Amino acid sequence: MRRNQIHVQFFDRPPTRGWVKDGLVKLYGPAGETGVPSYRDATWVEAVKDAGEAEKLPREDRSVLLVDMLPSDDEDLLEAMEEVENGMCI
């Protein structure tokens, strides 16, 4: 886990994943609800549409949309460095 960041999956084609600053994450839900943006940006509109379609699927079917979470070499190194900094490593 990284400080002030959230690990997310982007439903690009092909799907990707990455770390995003928590202040940049937008609340998902019907547009116009309190705190939910109602953007006209085509990328945002498409993402909300894709999320809505995924949300309708049974949980088992949704799991096939997930990308395997295999850490990159950079992530392994960063996590090891954080463990050393936090005294979690021998």
Residue 35 included in any domain: yes
As a whole number, mean pLDDT of residues 33-43 equals 69
Model pLDDT for residues 74-84, shown as the tens digit of each residue: 565 566 566 65
Residue 66 included in any domain: yes
Q: Contact, 28 vs 51, CB < 8 A?
A: yes
* Strand intervals (E) in 4-90: 5-10, 16-21
Residue 41 included in any domain: yes
Q: How far apart are CA 52 and CA 80, in angstroms?
A: 37
Number of domains the chain is built from: 1
* Residue 75 confidence (pLDDT): 60
Q: Which CA distances in Å does 1 have to 19, 63, 85?
A: 9, 22, 13
Domain assignment of residue 81, given as a range: 5-85
As a whole number, mean pLDDT of residues 14-32 equals 79
